[in-house]
C-alpha cells in the first residue's frame, strides 16, 4: 500500500521532519509513506486566508491519484 501525505507548506521545521520520519519508520514494511508538499499561496492584499485555502485545496485535490482515497481534515 502506498500512502501519500499531501500538505501545503515547504521547508518544514526540523521537529516536523523528525516526526514524519519517525512515523514513516513505524509503519509496516508493506506500507510506503510519501510526503508531497504543495507550495502555499502567497497572500497579497487582494487575497485573504479563504482564497489561499481554496487555492491550496484545489491543487492538493489535483494530486490525488485516480482511485485514491481522501482522508484527514477538510
Domains and CATH numbers, the chain: 2-63 (3.40.1280.10)
Instruction: State the pLDDT at residue 18.
Output: 92
Instruction: State the pLDDT at residue 27.
Output: 93
Q: pLDDT confidence of 73, banded at 50, 70, 90?
A: low
How confident is the model over 11-65, as pLDDT tens digits? 888 998 899 899 999 999 899 888 888 888 776 666 778 888 888 889 888 888 7
Residues 6+ apart with CB under 8 A from 41: 47, 51, 52, 55, 56
CA distance 11 to 5: 15
Amino acid at each position: 500500500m502506498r500512502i501519500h501525505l499531501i500538505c501545503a507548506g515547504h521547508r518544514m521545521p526540523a521537529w516536523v521532519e523528525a516526526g514524519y520520519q519517525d512515523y514513516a519508520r513505524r509503519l509496516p514494511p508493506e506500507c510506503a509513506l510519501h510526503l508531497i508538499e504543495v507550495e502555499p499561496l502567497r497572500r497579497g492584499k487582494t487575497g485573504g486566508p479563504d482564497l489561499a485555502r481554496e487555492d491550496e485545496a484545489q491543487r492538493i485535490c489535483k494530486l490525488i491519484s485516480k482511485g485514491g482515497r481522501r482522508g484527514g481534515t477538510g
